[in-house]
Every structure is written in structure tokens, then in C-alpha cells.
A and B are shown apart, each in its own frame.
Chain A
């Protein structure tokens, strides 16, 4: 099974530079997720790999052959589309067999492959039906089935779950991950949903405006974001950002509303230069304690119980902050809490460039 190498790829649409000098190495068998806000170039890149878009510059190499100038059918790639792209005039069986027939497989071979895929995806009972008689989730399985029956070198997924409702999406996510483990093939998966990216990926490629913001394992990106954009994109609720002033040789900092937190005893204590920073705190880094020493005093503005956890919103000066509390930590709006901060897990960013300060 070959690896995928995207080598300095550029894509222009007229004057718009959609993909900017992008390089990614995908080892064989890896599950890579391309994620980013709409217009970041992730779909363009995926479609370029499939051959549905021509790249303006650069190369795409699968194994030892360059596929950048090949027709889609010669690339030996399988793709699952957002709209499922099932043929309404063909039965489920024929839909799955479509790619095999296009490649002139024998009837026996087709039957063997379709049976294998339909069993794997649990759609064996629907083979005689037509796509219009299936639910969204079943259609999605058929679309995946059509992709996996062919012995493709690479599997591409273009936002395959975004047409499904939330509950179904969770289930399918798990199945796609299991499928990847079973097949052991290389998957390149595009989504705008950071949860999908986090849960599925061996490696996330986070894109913005056609460039890679950060590439790495999900938890790497989550815990050690390279810049404010990455930090803000991953995680739900999104990371809280506030302007702070570090003083006293990096041992103390002032929050936007004037409260002072001591940095003594933390990893960055004394290592960070005095000055203004953007401080990134995830909601789960704040927790209620009974002590008041070195805590953030918060007057809860809005409460949002989710059952297992409760989101409590408060303001520090003008800065809106979300904290994730235990379900019964707080009972009503207006309550005053003292929140301890896991400062070692928070991030400091340069307010000018947005890049993370390494401590």
C-alpha cells in the first residue's frame, strides 16, 4: 500500500490563491483529517487529490508514481461524497458494484466483493432496494460500501457525515474509525467539524486560507496549539482568550478586571518576560474550590446545565469567559465563585502575532 505525498501544491481560481504551497506527507495506513473553516482550501485539496480539480503547481505522488496529471479513473482512488452521490436509478447492489463494473470485474468477483462490503457495513438486507427507499444513515453506508469494494490505494472522504443528524453522526463516526482499523488503508478525510477531526484523526491538518496552521496528533494540537487560531478552532466550548499583563519578572499577572494571579510554582514562572499577552484558558481549566487564595473571583452571569456538567459564564472586565463546572457547583445566576486555574495547562500568546509563547 503506497503512501501519499503532497508536494508544494498550489491552486489558483483566477486571482484567488486557494491552496498555497502546501506539503503534507501521509504514511501508508494513516487516517489524516483536513479541517478548517469554510474557504480554507481543504475540499479543494481533497478534490485535487481525486483529480476532480487540476492543481496549478506542485505535485501529488501516490507511492512511486506522480498522479497529478492523471485522469481520476487512473489514480486508483476511492471517494465518498457529502451528498452520497448514489445513482437513484440503480439498486443498492448495483450502486456498490458500479466501480467494479466500470473496471470490468467478473460477476463472481463483484458478488464476492459486494457481499463482503454489505456484511461489513450491515446493509445486506437492503441490496435490492433503491436509494430513495433508504434512510440517510443507510445511504451513507451504501456510499462507503461503494468506495471500499474497490481495492483502492487511497480513500477520500468529503464531509461524509454533515448531512446526517447529530445522533446518527456520532454512530457513523465510530464506524468509520472502526472501518479504518479493519481495512488498514490510508484515509484522507475532510470536515469542518473539529469534533470529527479530533475523534477520527491519527493526524490533523488544520488549514486556514490555503495554508497549514498546524499539523499533528489531535491531542498535540489541542494541548499545544501553535497559535491563537488553532487554540480557538479546536475544543468546545471554544478556548477563552483574555488580555493579561505579566509583571514582577514573570511571577504574577493581572487579569482584565484587575484581579491578580500569582504564577509562582508554575512551569512558566520566571521564564516568561514581563509584558502584555493574550492568555488562552479552556473552560475545563477553571474549577470551583472553597479556598480563595490565588483564585479568580467570578460572578456567574449565565448558567447552562448540560446534565453531567454545567457551563457558567462570567465577565472579567469586558472579557467573556466560559467555565465548565460540576453539575451542582452552582445553583443560580449571580452567585459568586472562586475558581482555581490550572495555569500549567493554559497557553500564552503574543498579542501581536498570535503565536504561542513556548515556556
Chain B
């Protein structure tokens, strides 16, 4: 009887998990399906669930017209700003933890910066960028994403660094390392999971950003979320392009999260407890 109970419960659990998975995966499938469909299939009723053949025409058009370039723009701005944010954020977090820079409250103040709604700052930032002449440039978006991600990186890395036993660092200092070498050879490897997890989230934030990219770019450095939105028109929407470009934007993220999953799970569970 008990055996049966457990079996039933397992099946119920699997069933629920399937429903949830389906719920999340279906939109991505639908997006993928659209990207391969012909115009007729897209607008057919009842809907075509599975495209008749894999038609790469939509992708071909994106590359031919150079519109796929927006993915590259997203990639450059997101990855370089992630590198900067991770570098400066980790150093700042180390200083907060080990040198008690700014006492107990600087950390809170820094994370509070992240809580400002972006819409509040986007127009002042726009005017500032106009004055600096970096609107619609890689530099502009990279500077902005770095600045916006820094509080998050500092806050997360602060948690991870706090968990590193102090004696490990002290032992390295006595053994002959400088502070910088300790940061590089002890702190970095010890916080590896947290470092990767934070980097992934930082990257995703920049990759997903729509508001800043919309305001701060015109024609040269259009990122893919802005580009995709441009396909929606008042008269008609270019669904085939929406599908194809969105797939190009989603796939790298699926790849990144998929390969980094081990670190992300460990990183989240490691840092989340302390703050």
C-alpha cells in the first residue's frame, strides 16, 4: 500500500513538472516554429503546430540585409560591460569586506542604487551622453551597463567573499603573496561559482535591456531587443523576422545558462543565505 502511495506521488510530481516545463518551453518552441514558417503558415487558421519544412529563408534575409548585426551589437555591449562590471565590482566588494571600506552602510547604499527605476535616470543619462557625444556608440552602452550592473556585482561578490575563511588569505599573506596576488590566487578560485553565476546574470541583464538601448541608440548600435521591437508596425508586423531574430537572441542565452548551470545553482545557493 505504502509502495503504491510513493509511486503515485512520484508520478504526480513528474506530471506537475511536465506541465510547468511545457508552460515555459512552449513559447520558445512557438518562436522557433514561427522562424521556420512561411508567411501562409504563420497566418493560417487553425494554427500550424509544426512547420511543413525547415525553411531557413527568414534567417537568410536577416543576414543578407545586415539586420542580424544587432545580435553582434548586443554581444559586444553585454560581454564587455560584464567584464568591466565583474572586474571593478569584485575589487570593490573585496575592499568592502576585508578593509571594511565605508563601514557597515556603504554596501547597503550601493545596492540601493540598483533599486532606482531605470526610467527615472534614462533621460538625464541621455542628456549627459549627448553632452559627452557617446549616444549611439558601443562606449555609451558599455559605460551605462557597467554602471548599472556594478551595484549588483558588488553586492553579490560581497556575499561570496564574506564566506571565504579569513585564515586562507592570511596564510597566503604569510606565505609570501601580496594583496593583489591573494585576490587573484585565493579569492578568485574560492569564489569561482559565485563569480560565474554573477557574471551570467550581469550578462543577461545587459542582453535583455530594452529601455536604455532604445533611448541611447539610433542607427549604429541598435541591439537586438530594440531591433525586434522595430518589426512591429502599426499596419502590420513582420512575424517571420520577429521569430528568426528572436531565436538568434535566445539561443546564446540558452547555451550560456545551459553550460553554466552547475555554477549558477551552486553560486545562487552559496551567496543567497548571507547578505
Chain A interface residues (CB < 8 Å from chain B): 50-52, 71-73, 75, 77-79, 81-83, 85, 87-89, 98-99, 102-103, 146, 150
Q: Considering the chains assembled together, what is the distance between the CA atoms of A73 and B175 in angstroms?
A: 6
Most buried by A among B175, B186, B190: B175
CA distance A78 to B174 in the complex (A): 6
Q: Closest 9 interchain pairs by CB?
A: A99-B175, A102-B176, A85-B171, A85-B167, A72-B173, A73-B176, A81-B167, A89-B189, A79-B174
| B177 lies within 8 A of chain A by Cβ | yes
Interface residue from B176, B178, B190 paired with A99 (Cβ < 8 Å): B176
Q: Name, among B174, B175, B178, the residue most crowded by chain A CB atoms within 10 Å (CB to CB).
A: B174
Instruction: Tell me the total A-B contact number using a CB cutoff of 8 A.
Output: 58
Residues from chain A with a CB closer than 8 A to the CB of B176 are 73, 99, 102-103, 150
Residue B165 at the chain A interface, CB threshold 8 Å: yes
In the assembly, what is the distance between CA of A150 and CA of B167, in Å?
19
**Of the residues A85, A89, A146, contact of B170 by C-beta under 8 Å:** A85
Chain B residue contacts of A88, Cβ below 8 A: 190
Q: Closest CB-CB distance, B206 to chain A, in whole Å? A: 29
Residue of B whose beta carbon sits closest to that of A90: B189
List B residues at the A interface (Cβ < 8 Å): 165, 167-168, 170-178, 181, 186, 189-190, 192
A52-B174 in contact (CB<8A): yes
Measured in the bound complex, the distance between the Cα atoms of B171 and A50 in whole Å is 10
Say whether B177 contacts A81, CB under 8 Å: no
Complex formed: what's the CA distance from A82 to B168 in Å? 11
A94 to chain B, nearest CB (A): 11
Can you report 9 A-B residue pairs in the complex whose CB atoms are below 8 A from each other? Answer: A52-B174, A73-B174, A78-B174, A79-B170, A85-B168, A85-B170, A87-B189, A88-B190, A150-B175
Name 4 extra pairs, CB < 8 A, besides A73-B173, A85-B165, A102-B177.
Answer: A50-B174, A87-B168, A87-B190, A98-B175
Query: Taking CB as reference atom, which chain A residue is nearest B176?
Result: A102
Classify the secondary structure of B's interface with A: helix
Closest chain A residue to B186, Cβ basis: A87
In the bound complex, how far is the Cα of B172 from the Cα of A73, in angstroms?
9
Please report the C-alpha to C-alpha distance between residue A51 and residue B165 in the assembled complex, in whole angstroms: 18
Q: Would you call A51 and B189 a contact (CB within 8 A)?
A: no
Whether the Cβ atoms of B167 and A102 lie closer than 8 Å is no
Interface centre among A73, A77, A103, by most chain B C-beta atoms within 10 angstroms, is A73
A87-B186, A89-B189, A102-B181 are contacts. A81–B171 as well, Cβ < 8 Å?
Answer: yes
A73:B186 contact, CB within 8 angstroms: no
A51 CA to B181 CA in the complex, in Å? Answer: 17
CA distance A51 to B190 in the complex (A): 23
Contact of B165 among A78, A83, A98 (CB under 8 A): A83
Report whether B167 and A98 are in contact in the complex, using a CB–CB cutoff of 8 Å: no
User: Within the assembled complex, what's the spacing in Å between the Cα atoms of A89 and B191?
Assistant: 11
Which residues on B sit within 8 Å (CB–CB) of A51? 173-174
Q: Closest approach, in angstroms, between the C-beta of B125 and any C-beta of chain A?
A: 40
Q: Which of B165, B170, B189 contacts A52 (CB 8 A)?
A: B170
